[in-house]
Amino acid sequence: MIEDYRRDGCIVTGIAEADAWSSLLEQQRAAISASGTSNRPWVFWELHNPWSRAAVNVDSWQLLDVCQAPVLIEVLSLLMGDDIVLFDSQIVPNPALTEFDEPRWRNDDQFFPLDRPNGLVVRLPFGSDAPRTFEYRRHESAGIEYCRGQVLIHAANLDYRSPAANDSGGFEYVVRYFPAQRLYERDPLHPKHVQLTERYPWVNYMKMPLWLVNGEDKAGNDFVTGFHTRTGRWTTASARPDG
């Protein structure tokens, strides 16, 4: 596994719980569709975050359990070390967007505003039993097949062609992690934040909460920002309970 990842920048592995996770993800996506908000891009973002706007429609606590499941973290530890931070998740394709449906080469490095490039992306397929092919290129173009019940893990900076462009009819839950030796930058002028704000103005990566899901933080990361709800405020003085 480790040698394959070092060579190709991606692996596919089986995890016993992955099939149950797929069923949970199908339920959560159905809940979003039933809410009538599926034309709003943010309802498919930060799904593991109980303080996000997406949490209105999904059970973020269950999805957070998936993201920090010991069986998954054990595999990630082999690839990135024992100190791991979780920060982002989303469902693709996002019906409110078209970019994830485009069969073009991309990488996820733009989603990692770190002091030094690094990070891993986990892809959990659901919604279809049909196999799909993850096309990637490092030294040369290649492809790896995976399906429901399996997990695909790849480097954040690996160039790939979106699996969502395949005709499998399925979806993916994409979760992003980085090693706790890296600092998550919260400076709004950081180039990655500028780019993210321009492309995805409905998601505030500068205030995205971080979860230390394994090991120790070695970089002095901010684990306070994002872990609070907005304070309730009265709209007028006459509306206050005290008159």
Separation CA 163–CA 213 (nearest Å): 27
Separation CA 44–CA 232 (nearest Å): 25
SS (H, E, C) 37-53: CCCCHHHHECCCCCCCH
Separation CA 13–CA 150 (nearest Å): 6
The domain that contains 235 carries what CATH number?
A: 2.60.120.620
Q: What is the pLDDT at residue 163?
A: 57
Sequential DSSP letters for 46-87: STT-TTSGGGGTS-HHHHHHHHT-HHHHHHHHHHH-S-EEEE
- If one counts the domains in the chain, the total is 1
Residue type at position 191: P
List Cα–Cα distances, 19 to 29, 73, 100, 170, in angstroms.
Answer: 16, 17, 24, 14
Q: Does the pLDDT at position 179 exceed 80?
A: yes
Structural domain for 132, as ranges: 2-239
CA dihedral 162, 175, 159, 42 (to 10 degrees): 60
Could you tell me how far CA 76 lies from the centroid of its own chain?
A: 14
Read off the pLDDT band of 101 (50, 70, 90): low
pLDDT tens sequence across 130-170: 888 899 998 888 999 999 999 999 999 999 986 554 555 68
Q: Return the closest-CA partner of residue 160 out of 81, 92, 206, 211.
A: 92
Separation CA 149–CA 133 (nearest Å): 15
| Lowest mean pLDDT, pick from 21-25, 131-135, 235-239 | 235-239
pLDDT tens sequence across 193-217: 999 999 999 899 999 999 999 999 9
Token pair for 228: 């609070």
Mean pLDDT of 177-205: 94
